[in-house]
Amino acid sequence: MPIDLTDALASLREGRQSAAALLATNLARADAPACEHIFLRRFDAEALAAAQASDAAAARGEPRPPLGGLAVSVKDLFDVAGMPTTAASAAMDDAPPATRDAPAVARLRAAGAALVGHTHLSEFAFSGVGINPHHGTPRNPVTHALDGLDRIPGGSTSGGAVSVAAGAAWAALGSDTGGSLRIPAALQGLVGFKGTARRVPLGGCLPLSPSLDTAGAITRSVRDAALLDSVLSGAPLEIDARPLSAWRFAITPTFMQDELEPAIASAFERALATLRSAGARIEERALPALPRVAELQTQGGITAAEAWAWHHARLAERGDRYDPRVALRIRRGASIAPDAYQALLDARQRWIHDMKTSMQGIDVFLSPTVPLQAPEIAPLLHSDDLFFATNARLLRNTAVVNLLDGCAISIPCERPGELPVGLMLWAPASRDAAVLGAAARVEAALAAGAR
The set of catalytic residues is 75, 156, 180
Q: How many CB atoms lie within 10 A of CB 145?
A: 11
Contacts of 225 (CB under 8 A, 6+ apart): 191, 192, 193, 217, 219, 409, 436, 439
The CA distance from 440 to 244, in Å, is 9
Q: Within a 13 Å sphere around the CA of 98, how many CA atoms are in the beta-carbon half?
A: 22
d(CA 272, CA 266): 10
Its sign, for the CA torsion 260, 262, 263, 265, is positive
Beta-strand pair 191-194/215-219: antiparallel
Please state whether beta strands 191-194 and 407-412 pair in parallel, antiparallel, or not at all (unpaired). antiparallel
Report in angstroms the alpha-carbon separations of 158 from 83, 161, 163, 216, 300: 20, 5, 9, 14, 22
Handedness of CA 298, 122, 80, 176 (dihedral sign): positive
Which of 417, 436, 396 lies closest to 224, judged by CA?
436
The CA angle 143-147-152, to the nearest 5 degrees, is 40
**H-helix segments, 111-199:** 141-147, 158-165, 182-187
Q: Measuring CA to CA, which residue among 423, 403, 371 is closest to residue 249?
A: 423
**CA–CA separation, 218 vs 192, rounded Å?**
5
E runs forming strands in 267-309: 281-284
Contact 186, 192 (CB under 8 A): yes
Q: What CA dihedral angle connects 109, 110, 112 and 116, to 10 degrees?
A: 0
* Cβ atoms of 132 and 125 closer than 8 Å: no
CA distance 450 to 239: 25
What's the rounded Cα separation, in Å, for the pair 206 and 420? Answer: 30
